[in-house]
Structure formats: structure tokens, C-alpha cells
RNA sequence: GUGGUUGUAGCUCAGCUGGUUAGAGCGCUGGUUUGUGGUACCAGAAGUCGCCGGUUCGAACCCGGUCUUCCACCCCA
């Protein structure tokens, strides 16, 4: 054989079994999106570069896949730019399109572009792949699916409450119990920065704080110092490291800490609303916990932020996240449209379910019945029977050639077929068919004129 | 983007300080069994040792490059 073909770094092929399992997750998420009143949209896999560039910070820009212009694009570049060998000035001249990096920014573009056709508040869901020029690791790919549900055109906190319920509903149905939905609010982070006198380094402050569970209190303080936050400010932030107790206890402590900050107080109020409503309505299996260290990188969030952590025994980053963004559409020229949304990381959820063996067995069963092939006449009878069985919604296959029965059985075995139908010379004479239960090894005979009898037994 | 790690049969992996014909288990094919799989026994096929180059009388093994895997940063689903 020639050189074996391959696929690019960070991409994957999916086998039939893998696709079945992925569809199981997709279907579950989609079902609950619809139950909460979200409608589907789709957007192109690539956008104009200026739609995406600059929306995710410098780091994000680096991770966006750029698409080369068509035609003789290099001849259109002026000599100065060309010979400068500067990627950032050359790139916009030779690439005007880019693969989508997430679903939120394209959605914002969609809302602005179709603002006159949309009925607000607009609840949409979107399940499509996104691409990042990242260095792959476990649970990090360069092509992966996001499943997003967003609402634009309302700043009601009821939506945040519903989104928490939505997370709960999906993960409960996937049997992934006790996921931890972490909740914070950008206004609280802004309030803290204000109170400790570090409002100018809000980003550095939150990014450092976000690493608390990873590098510990000392590590966080060290990083803050390195990023130019004063020792006095860090000193004032000390109470944050000792926030404990129930959600409402933490809220009380935060309220006191942030009483001098208008924005901080607003953030506490918003969180309290969400927490109290959720307590009242109850959750099926998830936990909701306030986590002031939760920051999330994307700079467009302005209110609540969510993140769903995989169960602790599984080594995996977050399996979902989201938040409220008050101003996302204004970058495309539409002001005063508040949005809030959440995202499910399909590929990571898959890895978690696989690791915890939570996929139901049935979903991998691609066939209910296999009819063996004993020759032309016999196969015709099998075909007629198959038609009946397929009408009854069974997944049925006929072995296409009359090779050795042993081989056909082996095939049935490898495909995990629960029932094998045998129609040979004898059966044809008696107008009957034999059904072998592959698990138990038992066999039963039915009449060819009464397939319904067999169908009834399967139910 | 920075630093490290991995690659040998379809799969999971052995392979000594470089030595001539590269191994195992599982899987696959055939047979024991011409209408019975999943068990057992017997036989067999299958590898340019990721790719390109270098050192050497000789390279799976040493060196350089490249691709890939995974990991830690960065960032993030």
C-alpha cells in the first residue's frame, strides 16, 4: 500500500458507534432546547474576517483559522506590505474570510442583520461545529461542536434562572448527576476591583483570580503582583479567599464587602435573584454554587457568568459555559439589545460520558434482526418478511450473499444483532421461519404468514 | 505561541550497551464442523519499526528535520 492517508491535527473521524453516541447527546440537548422554547438557526461555517477579528481578544485572534483569498491573491499585495514579512499586516491583505470560532458572535451578527424580521425576545439554539487553531490536548480539538442556546432582547433575570434549569434538565437526562453549575457575575468582579482600587487592571485581576483552584491563594497573589496590582489592593482582596458557606451566606459576605460599590451591589442583587428563584423551583440533580473566582475569558460578558464543571473524578475542563452580554450586538451597530446564553461542549460531554460509562447500551444497537441468506428463493422469502418487519419499525438487514452460514452467523455476532432469522429449504417448504435468540442461543419457529406473532414477542 | 512527550501487524504493546531472519496477546483468514455465532483445538496471512535525511561495515535503536499523540504553560468547550 502507498503512504497511509491522514487527517489534520486536532480533527477526528467518527465510527458508526461513535456517531450513534454523539447523536444521543445531540438529540437530548436539542429536545430540551425545544422544550424551553428555543428555535434553531444555522449560520455559515465561515464569516467575513472583520466579523470575527477583535471579538475574542488578542489571544482569540491568534486562534482564528483564516481562509486564504481565491485567485492570484499574492499579486494584489503592495510591495511594501509584501516585503515587510509582517504577518499581522499581511494577513488582512491575503485573507478576508475566517472559520467561525464560536456560535455567539455569528449569532450577534445574525441578530443585527435580521433585526427587522426577528420577533424579540428571540430565543434561538444552534448546534454546529466551530474551529480553533489551538494546540490539541485531551478534550481540546481544532474542530469541535458547540450547542448554544441564547436569548436576546430581554434583560429579565428569569432567563438566567431558566438557563440554569436547562443545564440541569440536560445533564440529568444524560444521567450525568451532580454536575456543578458555577455562577458568578461580572458586576461583582468589577465591584471587587473597584473596592480594592484595581479597576484599571480588571482583566488581569479576574484572570489571576480564576486560577485559584489550580495554583492556590499564594499563586494567585503572586500573579497579581506580577501583573502590576499593588500589594495594598491584594491585601484588601483577602476576604475573597475565605468565602465559604452556603450560597446565601456567601452573598451576605459579598454584599457587606461590596457595599461601597454601586456596580458590585447590583451584581450581588442579581445573583441573589437567581439563587433564590432556583432554590424555590428546585433542581433535578445539578448543584448551583456561587464561585467568585469564576471569570471566563471572553471579554463580552457583562452580567451573570456560568460554567459547568465535569464531576471531579474525571479530568476534564469545563463542559459548558455562558453568561449575559449586554452589548454584543452594538459592535455590529445595534444598541440596547441584551443577550444571555449558555453553551454545551458536545465533545467533552462525550468524553465524560464515555469515561463514566453512562451511554445506554441500546444506542449502539444498529440492527434488531438479521435474516440469513440461504439462496435465491429463500432470500426472496426473507425479503418479504423483512418488509413486514421494517413496517413495524424494526431495523432489519438481509445478508446479501449466500455464503457459508457459519460466516453469516459470525457477522451477526460481530454486529451485536439480538435476533437472527433463518429461512432455508426446510422452512420454505413448511412456510415458516426460525428465529434464533443470539444471547440465549434458543430457537423458535414461526409461520411466514403470521409475522405479527414474532413482532409481538419482540415488544 | 513556549517547553516537554509519543509513534513498531487491524488493535494493545514487547524489542538488551546499534548486530544480520522484528516478536506476543487480541483480532483476521482457513480447517476440525457442507444449516448455527459467541467456547475449544490446529494451521495461516499480515509490518519500507510515522515520514525525510545523516552518522556507521551495519540503525526500530544514535543525530537533525518534519508530521502526529498526549502533557504543562497560554488560553479555553
Average pLDDT by stretches of 10, chain A with 459 residues: 71 88 95 97 96 88 91 84 80 91 95 95 96 89 94 95 97 92 93 87 84 84 86 86 87 93 95 96 94 80 91 79 90 92 93 87 86 93 95 93 89 91 93 92 91 85
pLDDT tens across A323-378, in order? 999 888 998 999 999 999 999 999 999 988 988 888 888 887 889 999 999 999 99
**CB of A30 within 8 A of CB of A126?**
no
Residue written as grid cell 461555517: A45
Grid cell 456567601 in the structure block, residue: A250
DSSP bridge pairs for A405? none
Question: Among all strands, which nt has the closest C1' to A347 (CA)?
Answer: B77
Which nucleotide comes closest to A418 if you measure CA to C1'? B37
pTM of the model: 0.90
| A4 DSSP β-pair partners | none
Q: Which residue's CA is nearest to the C1' of nucleotide B27? A: A414
CA of A254 to C1' of B17 (A): 66
Q: How distant is C1' of B29 from CA of A370, in Å? A: 23
Nucleotide nearest to A60 (CA to C1'): B75
Give the CA A10 to C1' B14 distance in Å.
Answer: 29
CA of A418 to C1' of B10 (A): 26
pLDDT for A2 equals: 41
C-alpha to C-alpha distance for A439 and A456, rounded to whole angstroms: 19
Q: Is cis: bond before A121, omega within 30 of 0?
A: yes
Cβ burial A63-80 (10 Å sphere, 16+ → b, else e):
ebbbeeeeeeeeeebeee
Cβ-contact A152, A337 below 8 angstroms:
yes
Which positions ≥6 away from A431 have C-beta within 8 Å?
Answer: A447, A448, A449
Please identify which residue in the block is written with the cell numbers 437567581: A274
- Nine-digit cell string for A360: 445506554
Looking at residue A173, what is its pLDDT?
A: 96
Summarised one tens digit per residue, pLDDT across range A124-149 is: 999 999 999 999 888 889 999 999 99
Count other C-beta atoms under 10 Å from residue A263's C-beta: 19
The helix/strand/coil state of A386 is helix
Q: Which nucleotides of B are covered by protein (CB under 7 A)?
A: 1-3, 28-31, 33, 35-38, 48, 51, 67-77
- In angstroms, how far is B76 C1' from A409 CA? 48
* Predicted local distance difference test score (pLDDT) of residue A297: 67
Q: How far is the CA of A72 from the C1' of B62 (A)?
A: 46
Q: What is the rounded CA–CA span in Å between residue A186 and residue A259?
A: 16
Sheet with A432-437, edge to edge strand ranges:
A396-398, A369-371, A419-422, A432-437, A443-447
Q: How many CB atoms lie within 10 A of CB A41?
A: 17
Tell me the nt nearest to A315, Cα to C1'.
Answer: B71
Q: Integer distance in angstroms from CA A102 to C1' B71?
A: 25
pLDDT for A316 equals 75
For chain A, the residue count is 459
Nucleotide nearest to A436 (CA to C1'): B36
A324 Cβ partners below 8 Å, 6+ apart?
A155, A160, A186, A301, A302, A303, A304, A305, A338, A339, A340
Å: A10 CA to B70 C1': 12
CA of A438 to C1' of B77 (A): 41
Of all nucleotides, the one whose C1′ comes closest to residue A138's CA is B70
For residue A1, which nucleotide's C1' is closest to its Cα?
Answer: B48
Amino acid at each position: 500500500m502507498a503512504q497511509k492517508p491522514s487527517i489534520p491535527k486536532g480533527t477526528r473521524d467518527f465510527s458508526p458507534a461513535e456517531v450513534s453516541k454523539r447523536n444521543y447527546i445531540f438529540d437530548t440537548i436539542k429536545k430540551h432546547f425545544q422544550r424551553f422554547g428555543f428555535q434553531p438557526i444555522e449560520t455559515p461555517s465561515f464569516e467575513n474576517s472583520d466579523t470575527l477579528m477583535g471579538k475574542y481578544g488578542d489571544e482569540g485572534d491568534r486562534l482564528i483559522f483564516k481562509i486564504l483569498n481565491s485567485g492570484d491573491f499574492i499579486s494584489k499585495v503592495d510591495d511594501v506590505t509584501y516585503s515587510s514579512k509582517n504577518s499581522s499586516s499581511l494577513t488582512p491583505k491575503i485573507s478576508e474570510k475566517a472559520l467561525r470560532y464560536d456560535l455567539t458572535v455569528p449569532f450577534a451578527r445574525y441578530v443585527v442583520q435580521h433585526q427587522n424580521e426577528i420577533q424579540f425576545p428571540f430565543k434561538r439554539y444552534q448546534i454546529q461545529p466551530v474551529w480553533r487553531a489551538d494546540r490539541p490536548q485531551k478534550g481540546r480539538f481544532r474542530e469541535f461542536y458547540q450547542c448554544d442556546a441564547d436569548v436576546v432582547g430581554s434583560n429579565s433575570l428569569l432567563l438566567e434562572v431558566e438557563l440554569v434549569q436547562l443545564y440541569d434538565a440536560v445533564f440529568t437526562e444524560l444521567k450525568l448527576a451532580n454536575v456543578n453549575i458555577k455562577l458568578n457575575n461580572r458586576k461583582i468582579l468589577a465591584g471587587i476591583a473597584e473596592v480594592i482600587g484595581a479597576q484599571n487592571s480588571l482583566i488581569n485581576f479576574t484572570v489571576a483570580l480564576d486560577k485559584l483552584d489550580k495554583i492556590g491563594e499564594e499563586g494567585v497573589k503572586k500573579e497579581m503582583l506580577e501583573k502590576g496590582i499593588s500589594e495594598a489592593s491584594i491585601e484588601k482582596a483577602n476576604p475573597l479567599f475565605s468565602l465559604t458557606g452556603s450560597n446565601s451566606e456567601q452573598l451576605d459576605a459579598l454584599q457587606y464587602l461590596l457595599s461601597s460599590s454601586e456596580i458590585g451591589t447590583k451584581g450581588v442583587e442579581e445573583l441573589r435573584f437567581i439563587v433564590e428563584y432556583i432554590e424555590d423551583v428546585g433542581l433535578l440533580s445539578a448543584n448551583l454554587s456561587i464561585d467568585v473566582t469564576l471569570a471566563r475569558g471572553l471579554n463580552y460578558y457583562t452580567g451573570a457568568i456560568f460554567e459547568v464543571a465535569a464531576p471531579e473524578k474525571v479530568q476534564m475542563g469545563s463542559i459548558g459555559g455562558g453568561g449575559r452580554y449586554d452589548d454584543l450586538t452594538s459592535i455590529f451597530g445595534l444598541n440596547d439589545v441584551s443577550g444571555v446564553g449558555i453553551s454545551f461542549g458536545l465533545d467533552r460531554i462525550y468524553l465524560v460520558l464515555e469515561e463514566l460509562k453512562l451511554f445506554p447500551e441500546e444506542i449502539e444497537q444498529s440492527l434488531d434482526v438479521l435474516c440469513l441468506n440461504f439462496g435465491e428463493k429463500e432470500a426472496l422469502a426473507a425479503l418479504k418478511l423483512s418488509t413486514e418487519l421494517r413496517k413495524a419499525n424494526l431495523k432489519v438487514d438481509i445478508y446479501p450473499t449466500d455464503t457459508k452460514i457459519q460466516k453469516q452467523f459470525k457477522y451477526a455476532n460481530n454486529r451485536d444483532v439480538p435476533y437472527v432469522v433463518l429461512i432455508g429449504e426446510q422452512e420454505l417448504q413448511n412456510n415458516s421461519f426460525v428465529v434464533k435468540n443470539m444471547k440465549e442461543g434458543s430457537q423458535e419457529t414461526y409461520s411466514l404468514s403470521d409475522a405479527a406473532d414474532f413482532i409481538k414477542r419482540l415488544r
